[in-house]
Chains A and B, each alone.
Chain A
């Protein structure tokens, strides 16, 4: 028995060793990004690479001062908040109906957005937006990003609503509540944790989405991801500035993910698991 324990301890150490090695490979580029963002360009491109180098905040200062990043960050927040709220407004009642009246087949319809290549929709959207002069417009960007957020919200909320016991809703209805009152007064308050999870995930999805804004946003409405990408061309040698931009767009999703770990699988695979 003693020998077995010894083997067990050794096995455990081997598992930890693999985990550490794997984490190093996964996290190294992210660490490199954050580290570089606090360094001078001469140190980032030094040969051999420097492990220890002077720290500076100048990349971030430049980002805000010369590239209007504050304004661009506000654009991101407007688009992401707008598409999350609109996704909620459209998606939560639909998810409730799908959960309570067994209309999941209906919900597959909106998963089509997930199946199709975005450029297929983007071409018609772009032509319509040009025709009605709504390129570089927050409303256009919010609407298109809602195509990303709403399916996530619907599928997550279906599973949250399905877990709520129907008894309270039934008794409320016997007391004369309408279906909509039941949704508003009972189901939604009970599903607040689910709503929070959906909101955070939809925030991350919308925040990260690149393609639609690349075409539809202009100077006025450009979000952070597109601005960071445009930045490559204009300052190809300014690695410190690029890494600062990359860090700025990466930190919010990383922080939110930490709150959400348990729910992440459900959110990311929403819809596919049940199919």
Chain B
């Protein structure tokens, strides 16, 4: 409290405690619901325990982490995670920026398009998963009908190891590109008009305006979007679990789905916690590098 002493002179001494009291419930809630589980997960990651058995957790040091190094599924999951993160982020950023610029313009009727375009990002991923499972169906699905109509061979989509990741990526990009578009649209509304007027007077082409004016001015918003998506793409769970549960033969397993399986299907809570701590570490590294990029570019 001493460091953050309020400057307002009219503040009476009895009110000095008010900010602390106002912050207290939320703080206590956060400590109980996140702080304690966080510490407990750290504790679990260093132990072996079997749920329901009378034996207490056995301290095994870093064995759970070492086990991961020897676990081929862990490495598969890590690769899948990084693939979905890197490719997903790039596709979503490019397409999202494009759509955001498109819908950020002042045009008649575009307001309705803005509302409709964000629907994928606000409906439950379960609904999205169900629709795409139906459309990906090898025998009856719409996607294979379209392929056949264009004279292409039908694909197994989610059912084959060599197409499942691209299929999940398709859903992920479809669902979350609108989210990036939304952020870019928001930033478009706040751009100043003067540079554009000057550019038009100077005879700049549309492409030059986009390249040297709009995109640089949108960069802060795009970096923010990238950071938010980093956190979510790294812990991708819903779409994978709903559509494939990591299959076929672990080919779409992510660290999150793997930890879920280890924890809640096989009761390996220590190992699952260790996997999640590794994932958290990776997410922190990825966000921190984007944060450094953000500071370096002065945004």
Interface of B (DSSP majority class): helix
Interface residues of A in 224-249 (CB under 8 A from B): 224-226, 228-229, 232, 239, 242-243, 245-247, 249
Binds B, one of A25-33, A54-62, A63-71, A189-197: A25-33
Nearest residue in B to A242 (C-beta to C-beta)? B130
A256 to B115, CA, bound (A): 11
Say whether, besides A114-B231, A118-B237, A121-B38, A90 and B273 are in contact (CB < 8 Å).
no
| Interface flag for A127 (CB, 8 Å) | yes
Interface residues of A in 14-54 (CB under 8 A from B): 15-16, 18-19, 22-23, 25-27, 29-30, 32-33, 36, 44-45, 47-49
Say whether, besides A12-B107, A22-B117, A272-B224, A229 and B242 are in contact (CB < 8 Å).
yes
Say whether, besides A22-B102, A106-B23, A33 and B127 are in contact (CB < 8 Å).
yes
A36 to B127, CA, bound (A): 13
CB of B69, distance to nearest CB on chain A (Å): 20
- Please give, as numbers and ranges, the residues of chain A lying within 8 Å of B206 by CB-CB distance: 11
| Interface flag for A180 (CB, 8 Å) | yes
Between A and B, how many residue pairs show CB distances below 8 Å?
274
Interface of A (DSSP majority class): helix
A110 to B276, CA, bound (A): 19
Nearest residue in A to B5 (C-beta to C-beta)? A101
Interface residues of B in 94-113 (CB under 8 A from A): 99, 102-103, 105, 107, 110-111, 113
A242 to B263, CA, bound (A): 28
Interface residues of B in 199-238 (CB under 8 A from A): 206, 224-225, 227-228, 231, 234-235, 237-238
Chain B interfacial residues counted at CB < 8 A: 96
Q: B residues touching A (Cβ–Cβ < 8 Å)?
A: 4, 6, 8, 10-12, 14-15, 18-23, 25-27, 29-30, 33-34, 36-38, 40-41, 44, 51, 99, 102-103, 105, 107, 110-111, 113-135, 140, 142, 145, 149, 174, 178-179, 182-183, 185-186, 206, 224-225, 227-228, 231, 234-235, 237-238, 242, 255-256, 259-260, 263-264, 269, 272-273, 276-277, 279-280, 283-284, 287
- In order of increasing CB-CB distance, the 9 nearest A-B pairs are A179-B18, A265-B186, A94-B26, A124-B37, A246-B127, A97-B22, A93-B22, A117-B235, A250-B123
Can you give 17 A-B contacts (C-beta < 8 A)? A11-B206, A22-B102, A44-B140, A45-B140, A94-B25, A112-B30, A117-B235, A120-B280, A121-B37, A127-B40, A127-B269, A173-B12, A179-B18, A247-B127, A254-B119, A257-B118, A265-B183
